[in-house]
Amino acid sequence: MIYIDKECLRCNACVVVCPSEAIEEGDPIYKIIDSKCTSCEKCIPICPVKAIKKK
C-alpha cells in the first residue's frame, strides 16, 4: 500500500506521473485511491519532499 503523508506540498507531480489516475486532490493533502492504485511506485521518486511512502 502506498500513501501520502502530511509533508505533501500539493505540487501535482505525482498526479501527472500516475498511470492509473489513482491520486486525487484532498484537503489538506493529496490522497491515493487504493482501489485504483496498482502499486507501480512511479509516484514515489517523483515527490520532491519524499511525502509518498510504501507501507
Q: What is the pLDDT of residue 25?
A: 95
Q: How many Å is the Cα radius of gyration of the chain?
A: 10
Summarize pLDDT for 4-51 with one digit per residue, the tens: 999 999 999 999 999 999 999 999 999 999 999 999 999 999 999 999
Domain ranges of the chain: 2-54
**Does the predicted TM-score (pTM) go above 0.85?**
yes
Q: What is the pLDDT of residue 52?
A: 99
Q: What is the pLDDT of residue 38?
A: 98
> How would you label 12-39 residue by residue, b for 16+ Cβ within 10 Å and e otherwise?
ebbbeebeeebbeeeeeebebeeeebee
Is 2-54 a domain of CATH 3.40.50.360? no
Q: What is the pLDDT of residue 36?
A: 98
Contact 27, 1 (CB under 8 A): no
